[in-house]
Amino acid sequence: MTLGMITILCFLILMATGLHIFIVFFVAGFVVTAVVMGLEPAIAMIGQTLYHGMASHTYAVLPLFILMGSFAARAGFAKDAFDVAYVWMGRVPGSIGVATCWANAAFGAVSGSSLAAAAVFGRVAYPEMKRLNYDKSFALGCIASAGTFAAMIPPSGVLIILAIITDQSIGTLFMAGVVPGLVTAAVYSFSIIYRSKRNPALAPSAVDAPRYTLWEKIRVTGKLWPIALLATVVLGGIYSGVFTAEEAAAAGTLLTFIIGIFRGSLGDFSELKESLKEAARTSAMIFAIMVGALYFGRVLGITRLPTDLAGFIIAKKIGAIPVTIFILVVLFFLGMFMNASAFFLFSFPIFYPVVVKLGVNPVWFCIICMKMAEIGAVTPPVGLNVYSLKGVVGKDATLEEIFKGIVPFIWADVAVIVLLYLFPEIATWLPNLYMSKG
């Protein structure tokens, strides 16, 4: 137990120095294993982890879905989703903000990246909000926050990482994320409409917004056919048993590429090259962090910290609810300093065995922790969605203006977490339905 606590303390101290988290995982783990096992066994353990930890075809899912999201962003899927949502929400108070929320939900079905969503909708939605004289903080806060639940809607890269480290089915976690993602979009929309009605200066009405008949709305919805087709092929293929998760990722990536070619957006070799480079960079970064975290998790296993901690909590008869609340609070603070992949890979080897022994539903636990990851993506000092959006808008806005606009949406996320606590079926209903039919 003492060695485990020393390992975590080393990790936090090294994090404070500004080292890359991949290096922090290895150095913190190596120091402790060298003391416990000796220098040569500690070095050998690194080599074993590097190979055996990643020698699984399951990991192929991640770079394929990342590449699919990159292709989808360049193929204009986000613009299509926004145009459709805007036609349906055109005269609703705060219509552009509401349209951005639902367009993010649709784009999440082919992207799964909150950073990509924030960047893309910064280019798509912000100019229209600016033209209509939306309050700058309100507009930017809406875009940055709405991008977060793209990571909840399948196929989500973070959910894939959670599935790998918890040994859950990727398909099960994908299915568990659907309803919470849509509920988040709905809660955000209600928040935007309420605030816009209460303070019209936040989102002036679009007096020049055209009226559309029901038939015109249905017809323009046809622009979503690429997203619907991809969702059918990828998710339908997984749940029907036609594809494994890896095959579905490959099929979705190929289909996105073909659609992009026919649209002309991926016909330019430079665009294709940039998509491949972007996917390679992101995948390499995530894999480096995952290998470090796997090594760190093995070190914690040697110290028996997770097992002893679970035994201590059970012996003291501490209930599942206070333990889960404590874990969520810890994840909130970790999310302020790390990206979602990093803090899940750091914390789950410690916390996950504890909640499983306490009888907490592991699927529900993963989803409610994902909500904390969404909050972390927009909270300072390391709100990555905010920095992604700032990179798009440039000097037109400051980080302070964006963070100011995010605060009401954080409260909306807290409301969703409360709903998940009161009604866990929001996360578990679809997976249970699927398994009962299986």
pLDDT in tens, 18-55: 777 778 888 888 887 887 778 888 888 877 777 766 66
- Give the count of domains, the chain: 1
Residue 437 has pLDDT above 60, yes or no: no
Residue 282 has pLDDT above 90, yes or no: no
d(CA 282, CA 38): 35
| Phi/psi of residue 424, nearest 5 degrees | -60, -20
Estimate to the nearest angstrom the gap between the alpha carbon of 431 and the chain centroid: 19
Give the lowest-confidence range in 7-11, 180-184, 192-196, 420-424.
Answer: 7-11
Average pLDDT of span 310-321: 74
220-275 pLDDT tens trace = 888 888 888 888 888 888 888 888 888 888 998 899 899 888 877 776 778 788 88
Residue 432 has pLDDT above 80, yes or no: yes
Residue 367 has pLDDT above 70, yes or no: yes
d(CA 107, CA 120): 10
Say how many CA atoms lie within 13 Å of 117 toward its Cβ: 34
- Residue 378, Cβ density class (10 Å: 0-12 exposed, 13-18 middle, ≥19 buried): buried
Look up tokens 């480290």; give the residue: 165
Residue 311, token pair as written in the block: 């035994």
In this prediction, residue 79 carries a pLDDT of 83
In this prediction, residue 183 carries a pLDDT of 92
| Phi/psi of residue 135, nearest 5 degrees | -60, 130
144-161 pLDDT tens trace = 888 787 778 887 778 888
Q: What is the CA radius of gyration of the chain?
A: 22
Give the lowest-confidence range in 136-145, 161-170, 352-361, 372-381.
Answer: 372-381
d(CA 85, CA 313): 48
For 201-283, where are the E strands, in sequence order?
A: none
DSSP 209: P
Query: For the chain, what is the largest distance between any 2 Cα atoms, rounded to a whole number of angstroms?
Result: 74
Q: Which residue type does 407 have?
A: V
In this prediction, residue 8 carries a pLDDT of 78
Look up tokens 């964006």; give the residue: 402
DSSP 125: T
Percent over 90 (pLDDT), the chain: 8
Q: Can you give the residue range of the structural domain that contains 327?
A: 2-437
DSSP 210: P
Instruction: Evaluate whether 104 touches 185 at the Cβ level (below 8 Å).
Output: yes
Q: Assess whether the previous peptide bond of 155 is cis (omega < 30° from 0).
A: yes
In this prediction, residue 187 carries a pLDDT of 93
205-224 pLDDT tens trace = 765 567 777 788 888 888 88
